[in-house]
Structure 1
Amino acid sequence: MPPADPLQLPSTQRSTWPGPLRGEVVYLYAFDFAYDLTRDPLELTSLMGAPIERVSVERSKRHPLRLPTVVQACVRLPPFSIDGPGGPIAAVATIKILPVGALTIAVRVPLAVASFDDLVVFHDLRLDARVRDLAERAKDELRPISIRPRERLEDEEPYTVFCLAAPEGPGFDALDWLERDRARIAALITQEPDIDLLSRQEIAESTARALSYYRQDLAVIDWDAALVVDQPALFDQCLWVLEVANVQLTELEAYDRLLDSASERAYADLRAPRAGRAAIQREIAELRIDLSRVADELANIGSLYGDWHLARIHQAISDRLHLMQWHDSIDAKLTTLDELYQFMQQERVNRWMVGLEVAIVLLFLVDLALLFLGGK
């Protein structure tokens, strides 16, 4: 009998995961709340009644020596109850403040289910309103150190990460399990309750970016959800990378909207009287400088400092979120604004040159007139 095709398993066949599943589901949100901050978030002492902690991510994989430690400003809020699939669940929210005027909120929900098929319902937890309220409160408290704070936060959807504790013992191989349960894993991260509905192509595409370092760890990255299998103490390594990518996407979206607005104003102002164009030119010049600074800061918060495995995960999530395409789009819009700025500058110089030429001609005519009158 030929082996079962992992890309098209019937829903009647049970998952091959060995035993019950333990771990947590983490919902990652990112908000752009200000243009910049006047102080380093690590200098703050508290937020929303909770102390600000200095947290860093420990590395467990091989990496170059003498790497700097990435330290983040983090607030751990008290647990709160949410409606879970089987009743109330105690969830914990953490807020991290980033120096680019952004914050991330991670809501962690403990996970203990008997079957892999029971995981998909965790996509449906209603957290958006509560998380948005937390973000608004944090934004208001951070307003005194915010430069040009946003009046309204954009609506954000969570990036959902299913973190499963790897089974104990040497017999579990994460890549072997991936091959056996590929269809179920694809159904989980695409939020499909019926795996029979997924095509072979979608199953292959959804699980294409799967990375493993040790035999018992695995990360399957998709565009709005991921599956992580590892020791619970090591979940934060992968979560940190996914948080960074989510913030990068949020910041790129924010500045893409800013560029769209600036372009519309610039084109409209071209039809305005020339007297107001000096202010337009100053605004475009300031925007060019601002976006260059933001690009550098986004690169800094995404720096993985040479950790090879985390760099692979960051590359995978960057591909899924199309971060490079966002960068290219913003660069193209910035180039358009730059060309518009150069055009307006050249037009201004041309007007000055015409004025100077007219003045020279007038002086020449005056000189001729004086010579003519003097000759008489």
Structure 2
Amino acid sequence: MQNAPAIREEAPVIKRYIGEVVYIYAFDVAYDMTDEPITELLGLPVAEFSMDTSKRMPRHLFLHRPKMIRLPPVERIGPLGPVCVQRTVKLLPVGAISIRVTVPFEVKRIEELVVFHDLEFSNGDLYSEVRQLAEEVRHALEPYLIRPVARLGEEEAYTVFCIHSPLETEDGRKILVENWMHTHRREVASLLTQEPDIAHLSRQEAHESTGKYLSYYDDDVVVIDWDAALIVDDPKDFEETLYVLELANVQLAELEAYDRLLDDALERCYRDVAGGSIRARSALMRELREIRVDLARLSDELSNITKFFGDWHLARIYQNISARFHLADWHRSIDEKLKTVDDLYQLLNQDRNNRWMLILEATIVLLFIIDLILLFAGL
């Protein structure tokens, strides 16, 4: 008697997905900010950001608390209909701002969320609105900025899809989120990679895009990719994960800004070392000395806003997003360029010392000759 072929059990159908898409934009606006307290920005009161942490973590948690404003909500017509858009702006002590835009959704299938990438409204696109808001914030912050940028550079953007848990089927059964994650891995990968055609997404890409996921309780999961992330959790617990992702995004933006600063400085250094005058080299030495001190301090401040060490949940999330952003590689690249700056500084310093030694030796010889002339003249 032949065995009957195994019947594949179909994945349970989720009743609906409710949540919000959070768009995070980081801008470098200045070298630093003054210590003068900011009480108002864009006509809104400035408050200190705070959050409640729910997952297990150290008793004494160090998390930087930036100043922030919450803008009034605005109504827009999105790809799935009318939405109420929430916006916040955070001020970071490293001369950066982080703008967060939250757009709610309710869909039947995960694939429907792909349209929220590069969000378009009926009256324009989200990107243009965020750039305009960033310019307004930069202009309003000018009295508090130290060496502000002449114009806004490229922002660092990151998109986070937040789905409310628990997930329920049509008949009201609750689904374990990690099981749902494995069942819908291809759909999640398609969402994170902004790939509308799920059928053509390879298994390797699906596993690579969703490989860095973390779960703490049976009703939550965080899937982190390089350009987007998915959070399935209780809505009251979104904030802690979003803030970690936001800080990592700011770090990436600032590291890119430091890297550009070093590239420009090194280009001037090579040019001036090759054919600069003595005065130009002296000015170059002063500039190199300032760059060394400035970047050492900025690097320290950048590290201070994200002191996530250990195996607790937020630390693991930060480690995953750091790996996706290659923050360690950025740090290594900047350290190597700083070493090149140090080498150039030592070279110029040695060259200056050699010139002074030559001048001193010539002066000693000249004084000796003058002494001999006076001695013979006296005879």
TM score, norm. by length of structure 2? 0.91
User: What is the alpha-carbon distance in structure 1 between the residues aligned to residue 365 and residue 55 of structure 2?
Assistant: 76
Say if 2:154 is the partner of 1:155: yes
- Please point out which of 55, 64, 76 is paired with 2:58: 64
Query: How far off is 1:69 after superposition?
Result: 6.0
Alpha carbons of structure 1 residues 25 and 183: separation in structure 2 relative to 1, 3 Å: same
Alignment of 1:239-254 (within 5 A): 239-254=242-257
Alpha carbons of structure 1 residues 17 and 318: separation in structure 2 relative to 1, 3 Å: farther
Deviations 1:134-185 (A, max 9, x none): 1000011110011111111113252010000112688422221111111111
Structure 1 partner of 2:322: 318
User: What is the alpha-carbon distance in structure 2 between the residues aligned to residue 315 and residue 253 of structure 1?
Assistant: 19
Alignment of 1:1-376 (within 5 A): 16=12, 18-39=14-35, 43-68=37-62, 70-125=64-119, 126-156=125-155, 158-167=157-166, 171-270=174-273, 271-304=275-308, 308-375=312-379
User: What is the alpha-carbon distance in structure 2 between the residues aligned to residue 340 and residue 351 of structure 1?
Assistant: 16
Q: Give the conservation status (yes or no) of the 8 Å contact 2:18–2:163.
A: yes
Alpha carbons of structure 1 residues 3 and 319: separation in structure 2 relative to 1, 3 Å: farther
Query: How far off is 1:54 after superposition?
Result: 1.9
SS of residue paired to 2:208: helix
Match of 2:150, as an amino acid?
Answer: E
Query: How far off is 1:201 after superposition?
Result: 1.4
Match of 2:250, as an amino acid?
Answer: V
Alpha carbons of structure 1 residues 86 and 64: separation in structure 2 relative to 1, 3 Å: closer
More deviation in 78-87 or 344-353?
Answer: 78-87
SS of residue paired to 2:300: helix
Identity %: 52
More deviation in 292-301 or 302-311?
Answer: 302-311
Query: How far off is 1:342 after superposition?
Result: 0.7
Query: How far off is 1:15 after superposition?
Result: 7.0
Query: How far off is 1:207 after superposition?
Result: 0.7
Match of 2:113, as an amino acid?
Answer: L
Query: How far off is 1:290 after superposition?
Result: 0.3
More deviation in 239-248 or 75-84?
Answer: 75-84
Q: Give the conservation status (yes or no) of the 8 Å contact 2:29–2:138.
A: yes
Query: How far off is 1:66 after superposition?
Result: 3.4
User: What is the alpha-carbon distance in structure 1 between the residues aligned to residue 7 and residue 190 of structure 2?
Assistant: 21
User: What is the alpha-carbon distance in structure 1 between the residues aligned to residue 358 and residue 6 of structure 2?
Assistant: 84
Match of 2:59, as an amino acid?
Answer: L
Q: Give the conservation status (yes or no) of the 8 Å contact 1:28–1:104.
A: yes
Query: How far off is 1:277 after superposition?
Result: 1.6
User: What is the alpha-carbon distance in structure 2 between the residues aligned to residue 223 and residue 277 of structure 1?
Assistant: 42
Q: Give the conservation status (yes or no) of the 8 Å contact 1:15–1:115.
A: no
User: What is the alpha-carbon distance in structure 2 between the residues aligned to residue 49 and residue 72 of structure 1?
Assistant: 18
SS of residue paired to 2:66: strand
SS of residue paired to 2:89: strand
SS of residue paired to 1:136: helix
Deviations 1:12-61 (A, max 9, x none): x9975521001100000000111111126xx3222112211222121111
Cα RMSD for the two superposed structures: 2.0
User: What is the alpha-carbon distance in structure 2 between the residues aligned to residue 255 and residue 14 of structure 1?
Assistant: 51
Q: Give the conservation status (yes or no) of the 8 Å contact 1:15–1:116.
A: no
More deviation in 16-25 or 169-178?
Answer: 169-178
Structure 1, unaligned stretches of length 5 or more?
A: 5-12
Q: Give the conservation status (yes or no) of the 8 Å contact 1:63–1:306.
A: no
User: What is the alpha-carbon distance in structure 2 between the residues aligned to residue 25 and residue 168 of structure 1?
Assistant: 17
Q: Give the conservation status (yes or no) of the 8 Å contact 1:163–1:230.
A: yes
Match of 1:148, as an amino acid?
Answer: R
Q: Which 4+ runs in 1 deviate beyond 6 A?
A: none
Alpha carbons of structure 1 residues 2 and 349: separation in structure 2 relative to 1, 3 Å: farther
Query: How far off is 1:68 after superposition?
Result: 4.8
How many residue pairs are counted as aligned between the two chains?
A: 365
User: What is the alpha-carbon distance in structure 2 between the residues aligned to residue 79 and residue 86 of structure 1?
Assistant: 18
Match of 1:255, as an amino acid?
Answer: Y
Deviations 1:196-238 (A, max 9, x none): 1111211111011011111111000000100000000111111
Q: Give the conservation status (yes or no) of the 8 Å contact 1:15–1:184.
A: no
More deviation in 224-233 or 43-52?
Answer: 43-52
Structure 2 partner of 1:9: none
Q: Give the conservation status (yes or no) of the 8 Å contact 1:16–1:180.
A: no
User: What is the alpha-carbon distance in structure 2 between the residues aligned to residue 68 and residue 229 of structure 1?
Assistant: 25
Deviations 1:284-321 (A, max 9, x none): 10110000010011001112476811110101010001
Query: How far off is 1:92 after superposition?
Result: 0.9
User: What is the alpha-carbon distance in structure 2 between the residues aligned to residue 333 and residue 85 of structure 1?
Assistant: 45
